[in-house]
Amino acid sequence: MTKPIEGFSKLTKEQKIDWLTTHYTADPEAAKKLLKRYWNEAEDVQQLHDEFIENTITNYYLPLGIAPNFLINDKLYAIPMAIEESSVVAAASKAAKFWLDKGGFKTQVLGTEKIGQVHFMYHGNKEHLSAFFDQVLPKLLSEASSITKNMEKRGGGINTIELRDKTDALENYYQLHCTFETLDAMGANFINSCLEQFAKTFKAEAQLFSLFTEEEKAIEIVMSILSNYVPNCLVRAEVSCPISELKGGNTETSQQFAEKMVQAVNIARVEPHRAVTHNKGIMNGVDAVVLATGNDFRAVEAGIHAYAAKDSHYTSLTHAAIENGVFKFWIELPMALGTIGGLTSLHPLVKLAMEILGKPSAQELMQIVAVAGLAQNFAAVRSLVTTGIQEGHMKMHLLNILNQLGATDDEKKTLTHHFKKHSATHNAVVEAFEKLRSTK
């Protein structure tokens, strides 16, 4: 059995790779070659990547695709998407084209409030705590001024600090619930720095508060951290058109198609098993753009799923309705994104993605991401209620299967042509491939 290693982080990259491949791979030389093959040729670019995280051994590649023809608030975008799943970019592109001549996507940012909390334990008189909070509030702000100065110059900063009594949920538990405006920054570092300063000031000033007993002075700060649940940092995206302009599959009338879309969304509204998959399709679009633009997709995922469960029932993030002969399809998503700071000015492909999007503000990026989610969901549900998902999916997945089978370029060309007219199940592709090989 491999022994634990001391001081791994202090080894050079080459030493880390030597140790790793010797202990954990069957063919160390082949593994080393593979890892080095994905190093960037430009040493400075590779160093940049090495320094994004710790113990870097190579770069992990994902395809970066483009979904063009997105008309959002009358502006045309080509949206970069980083994702490994076949058919996502194709579906987004198809939805973009579908809505292009129907007025496109209309979006609106409904709020930009970010949240952070200092969680603490207090044993004592609630009125004393409340009086202390009123007294210390100006000092919480003034002692954080070196952190907030630059953000304030740009028009952001701390919005509110509130004392919340959470003792109904957990004995002795209180919090400083704080809201922030972080403009084009995602704001995690800014918020966490402010919160840690609030905690320090709060604890220190408690020692000096005359009404507090010795026990009350012993406020116990448990932690200070931003919340990735940002229900008031919210964006809405919508498409709509007269039902007569809708075309689903080959068999339905426009009216039947519109009604089926609404039914499918209503099923996701009431049935959590379906809602999770429905929302997963939305996140195919959301995550791909969030990742391509160097944002934190884990934060966005966590916040969005919490939002989907905000009414104590996990439900669909999209909505659909038919009103006076008009089909309406919309989404509301909370998300904290940044277009400055973080990876946005460091990662070469993120910089390019931002340029492709026209160097958006954080608010504009929120709108683009919400549109990607809505488009993805429209495309998925449209397939589901018409042809079924597999027809399109397997066509897109075909090349992956052929690559697994080791097909040559010529074989791929022949079989791609063949499956334009035939249903591409996994077995059918294997059979057609074997047949083609045996005829040679």
Decide: is 203 part of the binding site for ligand MEV (CB under 6 A): no
Q: β-pairing, 114-121 with 75-82?
A: unpaired
Residues 126, 301: Cα–Cα separation, whole Å: 37
Quick one: 292 or 381, whose CB is closer to ligand MEV?
A: 381
Pick the piece of the chain touching ligand MEV (CB under 6 A) from 66-74, 148-156, 298-306, 380-388: 380-388
Decide whether 88 or 365 has the Cβ nearer to ligand MEV: 88
DSSP string, 50-101: HHHSSS--S-----EEEEEEEEETTEEEEEEEE--STTHHHHHHHHHHHHHT
Half-sphere exposure of 358 (CA within 13 A, CB side): 12
Residue 259 a catalytic site member: no
Total of chain residues touching ligand MEV, rule CB under 6 A:
10
Q: Which is nearer to ligand MEV, 426 or 435 (CB)?
A: 426
Binding residue for ligand MEV, selected from 228, 284, 339, 386, defined by CB under 6 A: 284
Min separation Cβ 383 and ligand MEV, Å? 7
- Taking the least distance from each CB to ligand MEV, the nearer of 187 and 392 is 392
Task: Identify which of residues 31 and 384 has a Cβ nearer to ligand MEV in the complex.
Answer: 384
Cα separations in angstroms, 267 against 317, 380, 399? 12, 14, 33
The verdict on 382 binding ligand MEV (CB under 6 A) reads no
Ramachandran area for residue 335 (φ above 0: left; ψ -120 to 50: alpha; else beta)? beta
Judged by CB under 6 A, does residue 260 bind ligand MEV? no
Told to judge if 323 belongs to the known catalytic residues of this protein, a careful annotator would answer: no
Question: Judged by CB under 6 A, does residue 295 bind ligand MEV?
Answer: no
d(CA 66, CA 62): 13
Smallest CA-to-CA distance from 130 within 256, 216, 40, 49 is with 216
CB of 87 to ligand MEV, least distance (A): 8
Residue 294 DSSP one-character state: T
Question: What minimum distance in Å lies between the beta carbon of 258 and ligand MEV?
Answer: 17
Residue 67 has φ and ψ, to the nearest 5°, of -110, 105
| Residue 207 token pair | 């020692």
User: Does residue number 277 form part of the binding site for ligand MEV (CB under 6 A)?
Assistant: yes
Candidate list 217, 280, 305, 397; residue touching ligand MEV; CB under 6 A: 280
**CB proximity list for 54: less than 8 A, separation 6 or greater:** 9
Residue 389 contacts ligand MEV per CB under 6 A: yes
Place of tokens 């998959």: 277
Q: Is 392 in the site for ligand MEV (CB under 6 A)?
A: no
Nearer to ligand MEV (CB atom), residue 318 or residue 344: 318
Q: Is 281 in the site for ligand MEV (CB under 6 A)?
A: yes
**Is residue 380 close enough to count as binding ligand MEV by CB under 6 A?**
yes
Whichever of 114 and 393 has its CB closer to ligand MEV, that residue is: 393
**Nearest distance from C-beta of residue 234 to ligand MEV, angstroms:** 22
Applying CB under 6 A, which part among 72-80, 159-167, 279-287, 308-316 lies near ligand MEV? 279-287
Cβ-in-10-Å burial (0-12, 13-18, 19+) of 153 comes to: exposed
Rounded distance between C-alpha atoms, residue 29 and residue 45, angstroms = 25
Catalytic-role residue among 196, 238, 296, 364: 296
Which of 217, 280, 319, 328 is flagged as catalytic? 280
Task: Output the smallest distance, CB 284 to ligand MEV, in A.
Answer: 5
* Residues 81-110 interacting with ligand MEV (rule: CB under 6 A): 85
Catalytic site residue 85?
Answer: yes
Select the residue whose beta carbon is closest to ligand MEV and give its number.
281
Which candidate in 13, 18, 85, 139 is catalytic?
A: 85
Extract long-range pairs of 425-430: CB within 8 Å, 24+ residues apart: 425/390, 425/394, 426/394, 426/401, 429/394, 429/398, 429/401, 429/402, 429/405, 430/401, 430/405
Distance in angstroms (rounded) separating the CA atoms of residues 265 and 315: 10
Report the distance separating Cα 260 and Cα 268, nearest Å.
Answer: 12
Q: Which stretch binds ligand MEV (CB under 6 A): 70-78, 119-127, 299-307, 381-389?
A: 381-389
Give the residue with the Cβ less far from ligand MEV, 384 or 405.
384
Distance CA 310, CA 166 (A): 18
- Whether 280 is a known active-site residue: answer yes
Binding-site member from 119, 278, 347, 382 for ligand MEV (CB under 6 A) = 278
Q: Is 435 exposed, middle or buried (0-12, 13-18, 19+ CB in 10 A)?
A: exposed
Residues that bind ligand MEV (CB under 6 A): 85, 277-278, 280-281, 284, 380-381, 384, 389
Catalytic residues: 85, 280, 296, 393
